[in-house]
Structure 1
Amino acid sequence: MNKKAVIFDMDGVIIDSEPLWQQAQIESLAGVGVSITRQDCEQLTMGKRVDEITRIWCEMYALSISAKELENLILTKLCNRISSTGEAMTGVYDALSFFSQQGLKLALATSSNHVVIKAVFDRLQLWDKFSVICSAEDEEHGKPSPDVYLTAARMLKVDVSECLVIEDSFVGMTAAKGANMMTCIISPYCQQSKFSKADKCYVNLDCLLQSDLLQPGWTFR
């Protein structure tokens, strides 16, 4: 089985930002008199573009604030938190080094806006790690549409069959599988039935690096 590229999701794979996303949403909605929980965020907005997130909340609670105003609030709070407290997920730097040493092309394909990507890459010093950076902000449709993954493959100049995707959410897995790419889920909850369509599931990137998937017999070229 030959792969030429690894495409990483960002939130929850590269950086431990899902709690930061949730808190940014909770605080922003609290400011307009609406109370939501982390579970609400996980069930309704995890892995989605911020415009989809704000549309969901505005429609659900008939908010007086515009979706664009809510989006700006969430992104400002999120980027501030990333810049001050953001931390890399377990095994990120080892995984990036391993795949790079194997000669694979590395790309990012995220639902997050470019302003969030910048905050993450500045905080974690990642600008030299990826040859291609794709945001669903630039696509007509965000995840679970496969658009951002298809764009990444096109920019990498590889076929979708030559890509390995690393994701952490159901929405992201759906997007990657929709692009006909091999998909690994990296999540403490990877054994949940919702991830049954993933090709492989691991608790974290360290477990992926130690797995039989990357042992002799797996060919990178």
Structure 2
Amino acid sequence: MITAVLFDLDGTLVDTETLSAESWRRVADEMGFTIDDETIYSFIGLTRPVIIERYGDKLGGHDRADAAFDRHYEIKFELAETDLHLMPGAEEALRTLSARGFKLGLATSSMRDVAERELAPFGLMDIFDASTCGTEAPASKPNPDIYLVTAEKLGVDPACCAVVEDSFNGVRAGHAAGMQVFLVPDLVAPTPEIQALCTEQLESLDELPAAIERWNSEGAR
């Protein structure tokens, strides 16, 4: 039985991935390097240190990657002042699941100050019973660590947890943690590999409470 639901943040609860993509394009123009959308989308679900380690050459060189990342955040937050929105059904799903007695966890590759800043306008940070952010887990998604750490904080067996994700790296992390994964795609359509790792693919978070209740009544048998 699912008793806890663990949420990714960017692109799952908050519509930030389009802002992040635009900020990377602007940083590339400012700093004089080239970056394509495929590379930008491959960042989704990864922590800052992993992105810099793997893609430093594409961020203007490893020596400039930190500066590029900082500037990306500056532009992203500027855009967020007018263009930050919750994903469809996000608040309703969180409040419905909480009211039904599910424990809620936040498991995001964004650093804690960034996560709190993104959720603050909507008053939703306090709805989570536990949260794990950025580098607070030993390894980044697609490793399962961030979900296992969050489950431990909640005091719930991983087998009794659902993961809600939009990214390929997040889906892989949730599946590796032994949890039921509910995918709500955002910018990138899932591949057959990703679909095979998911318990169910949803059109929006509006469908999530019913999908989890359905799993508890049918899928867990």
Whether TM-score is above 0.5 comes out as yes
1:28-87 per-position Cα deviation (integer Å, ceiling 9, x unaligned):
222221122333312x31221122223333224662743322221122222332343210
Aligned counterparts, 1:1-221, within 5 A: 2-42=1-41, 44-60=42-58, 63=61, 65-187=63-185, 192-195=191-194, 196-211=196-211, 213-215=212-214, 217=217
* Structure (1/2) with the larger helix percentage: 2
Q: Distance in 1 between matches of 2:70 and 2:199?
A: 36
Give 2:73's aligned amino acid. Answer: L
Contact 2:164 2:181 in 1 (8 A): yes
Give how far 1:11 is off: 0.7
Give how far 1:120 is off: 1.0
Change beyond 3 A, Cα 1:128–1:192: same
Contact 1:13 1:167 in 2 (8 A): yes
Q: Distance in 1 between matches of 2:73 and 2:136?
A: 16
Q: Given the two structures, how large is their TM-score scaled by the length of structure 1?
A: 0.88
Q: Distance in 2 between matches of 1:83 and 1:150?
A: 33
- Where 1:52 maps in the other structure, the secondary structure is helix
1:12-38 per-position Cα deviation (integer Å, ceiling 9, x unaligned):
110111111111222222222112233
Q: Which moved more, 1:88-97 or 1:136-145?
A: 136-145
Change beyond 3 A, Cα 1:80–1:15: same
Give how far 1:197 is off: 1.3
Give how far 1:219 is off: 10
Percent of aligned positions with the same letter in both sequences? Answer: 25
Q: Given the two structures, how large is their TM-score scaled by the length of structure 2?
A: 0.88
- Where 1:30 maps in the other structure, the secondary structure is helix
Change beyond 3 A, Cα 1:175–1:76: same
Q: Which moved more, 1:19-28 or 1:88-97?
A: 19-28
Give 1:10's aligned amino acid. Answer: L
Contact 1:185 1:200 in 2 (8 A): yes
- Stretches of structure 2 lacking an aligned partner (at least 5 in a row): none
Contact 2:28 2:59 in 1 (8 A): no
CA RMSD of aligned residues (A): 2.3
Give 2:78's aligned amino acid. Answer: N
Contact 1:55 1:67 in 2 (8 A): no
Contact 1:190 1:202 in 2 (8 A): no
Give how far 1:207 is off: 2.9
Give how far 1:113 is off: 1.1
Give how far 1:147 is off: 1.0
Q: Distance in 1 between matches of 2:171 and 2:90?
A: 19
